[in-house]
Amino acid sequence: MIRPDETSVIKFVLSLPPTTNPYSATADYLESVSRPCSTLPIWSRWLIRLVLLSYVLMFFQTARPLYIRIKTRKFDIIGFNTLNLIKIDTANHLTAGYLLYSTLSIINLIWRDLSLSGYTSPIPSDFIDCTKSLVSLTLSWLFLWICISHSLLVRWKPLEEHPLEKARYMSPKSAWLLNGGFFVTILWPYVPVIFSSFRVVAEETKIVEVLKPVIIALRKSSHAYSPSDYNTLGLLSTLIPGREAFDHADSLVVPFRIVIFCYLISASILCIAYPPILLHTFKGMNQSGKTTASVRSQKGSVVIHSFLAFTSTLWNVPILIWTLEFQSYSFIYDSLWWTMIILGIDGILAITGNIIIFLTHSTAQSGSSSGSSSGSETCSDSSRAITFEDQKTMSVSSS
């Protein structure tokens, strides 16, 4: 659909064929104006349903293990490792994050499909689209923090254990500075994104409120329409109260762009930070001496997890840049723009997320079975993929 404005509405009315009821046709046109993303290609709607099924699979992959961990009291909301760094448990925190993201995606995609069919308003779905990527960005930062924590655990020990060798050990003050920086890095987009998302909802609601009485008046006039009595100026005068809707549509541009810019900045920082930190983590993992088959398998899962997390984040960058190319509020009514937002971002996360969750639980089960058979304990200070035995070996070799 082309960008609607006063001129395009007038052109639409004047171009209507004589055989068409102009009041009914104009009412339909204004309804599409009041509903951004009112139409999508048929192929994309089928793909949306496939993505929905992927998120249903993700939901069941995460819900049951998380329920079991909470029931058996193995779920810690927050903890700290031996360096006083925030401890992120892959099997707990990342699983909970993917459960939340899959739940939001399921609600969003179902609501979007219903709104495309004309049963519901798209406004709630637009709000979820604007905010749910905060969860996926947080998940990427959490895994990066796991790698950072592991690298620091390998290199340093708490200062209080060896106060005479300060150059080789981390002080509590340094740990808390890192914790604070970690929280700021994760949370800085939340305020502008959530605030802008509420602005999007407010402006879209205003568009509906302004156009609703105009559409009702057009529907009533359509019942009494007679070609012989039709007056174009009379129809255009009915549309005058709806002019304010285009001002609210213009006001949608800034909050939408703020949301996209916040995601783009955070994703770009992640893409820059991931390679050196992951390389340092892999280097530390490879410094270990003799390792068991279970540990080697767990290391492999960490490599795959890292690749998928980095790839899904990197994938978002060109899409977000492309979404900023549209001028004025034309993107709000562009089906390709919405297709890229819905499928381009949700589609890749549905694939990588399911693989990551599968690897996470496979690694946790492998670590548990290995620990029960050999007596080795799984390292929950950095991630489920590295054992204490392996970490101690790396600490000795690095020192």
Comparing 278 with 187, which gets the higher pLDDT? 187
Comparing 385 with 367, which gets the higher pLDDT? 367
CB atoms within 10 A of CB 301: 21
Question: Where do we find the tokens 């502008």?
Answer: 192
SS3 of residue 31 by DSSP: helix
User: How do the domains of the chain map onto residue ranges?
Assistant: 21-225+234-398
pLDDT at 301 over 60: yes
Q: Which DSSP string corresponds to 54-115?
A: HHHHHHHHHHHHHHHHHHTT---S--B-TTSPBP--IIIIIHHHHHHHHHHHHHHHHHHHHH
What is the pLDDT averaged over residues 356-364?
77
Mean residue pLDDT of the chain comes to: 80
Q: Using CA atoms, how far apart are residues 83 and 157, in angstroms rounded to an integer?
A: 6
Residue 266: closest CA among 117, 382, 137, 83? 137
Give pLDDT, residue 364.
63
Span 68-92, pLDDT tens digits = 888 887 777 777 777 778 888 777 8
Q: Using CA atoms, how far apart are residues 268 and 316, in angstroms rounded to an integer?
A: 9
Strand ranges (E), 187-320: none
Give pLDDT, residue 200.
92
Q: Using CA atoms, how far apart are residues 128 and 200, in angstroms rounded to an integer?
A: 11
Give pLDDT, residue 166.
52
Q: Using CA atoms, how far apart are residues 22 and 225, in angstroms rounded to an integer?
A: 8
Q: pLDDT over 70 for what percent of the chain?
A: 80
CB atoms within 10 A of CB 318: 10
Span 157-178, pLDDT tens digits = 655 555 555 555 667 788 889 8
The distance in angstroms from the start CA to the end CA of the chain is 64
Alpha carbon separation from 380 to 73, 161, 297, 321, 387 (Å, rounded):
15, 21, 17, 37, 8
pLDDT at 49 over 70: yes
- Identify the bridge partners of residue 235 per DSSP, sorted by sequence position: none
Span 214-273, pLDDT tens digits = 999 999 998 888 888 888 888 889 998 888 888 888 888 899 999 999 999 999 999 999
pLDDT at 378 over 50: no
Give pLDDT, residue 385.
39
Q: Using CA atoms, how far apart are residues 272 and 267, in angstroms rounded to an integer?
A: 9
Give pLDDT, residue 329.
65
State the pTM of this model: 0.81
